[in-house]
Chains A and B, each alone.
Chain A
Amino acid sequence: GENVEQHPSTLSVQEGDSAVIKCTYSDSASNYFPWYKQELGKRPQLIIDIRSNVGEKKDQRIAVTLNKTAKHFSLHITETQPEDSAVYFCAASIFGNQFYFGTGTSLTVIP
């Protein structure tokens, strides 16, 4: 089955700096890659997603890039704010709603 690896597991940045989280996947048939943000004690919430026919997608301070050849995708957060502090999960899906998740990155934005 699909295997998704996520790095780093923890990340601390100064407020205003950028944060980058990287994920790799193993199955070239994966075609949908969402990113979720989970605050302590809350549900994972979708923040951005990308499909395999697109190389990059941006939504305000958040962007995702996908390299199908290398089988990796990354989350970029610019101008980080304290409210960006949370655990971020990447995921990959081949078909339907069977998603394979990375192990999460705990992001801390230091004011």
Chain B
Amino acid sequence: KAGVTQTPRYLIKTRGQQVTLSCSPISGHRSVSWYQQTPGQGLQFLFEYFSETQRNKGNFPGRFSGRQFSNSRSEMNVSTLELGDSALYLCASSLDGSGNTIYFGEGSWLTVV
């Protein structure tokens, strides 16, 4: 069974631009969550989607948004990029989100210059 797939793997953006990251969960998984990983802050929860609905949201500004499609694929968008948004963005999927194990993708490395 294929794992969680994230694209793109690496990208460089300029301050003020926006970026869209994509995540395809493990086949059959309906819950997708997003995390930001930085050396200083560790792994921080952004939001979680289940059946195309955002169920939980972390403490991030409104510039961070996401959505989930009917095939469970998810995208997250960051608008008006800031230098501090440079991070590894990890997507994780789980079967149904009822406290089940989450499996991470390889992540998207975002550098904002």
Q: How far is the CB of B7 from chain A (nearest CB, A)?
A: 14
Contact B106 A42 (CB under 8 A): yes
Q: Interface residues of B: mostly helix, strand, loop or mixed?
A: strand
| B76 interface residue (CB < 8 Å to A) | no
Partner of B58 from A43, A91, A93, A98 at Cβ < 8 Å: A98
Contact B50 A44 (CB under 8 A): no
Closest chain B residue, CB of each to CB of A30: B99
CB-CB under 8 A for A95 and B99, given A43-B104, A43-B106, A44-B90: yes
Interface size class of B (residues with CB under 8 A): 20 to 34
Partner of A98 from B33, B42, B101 at Cβ < 8 Å: B33
Q: How far is the CB of B88 from chain A (nearest CB, A)?
A: 9
| B63 interface residue (CB < 8 Å to A) | no
Closest chain A residue, CB of each to CB of B98: A96
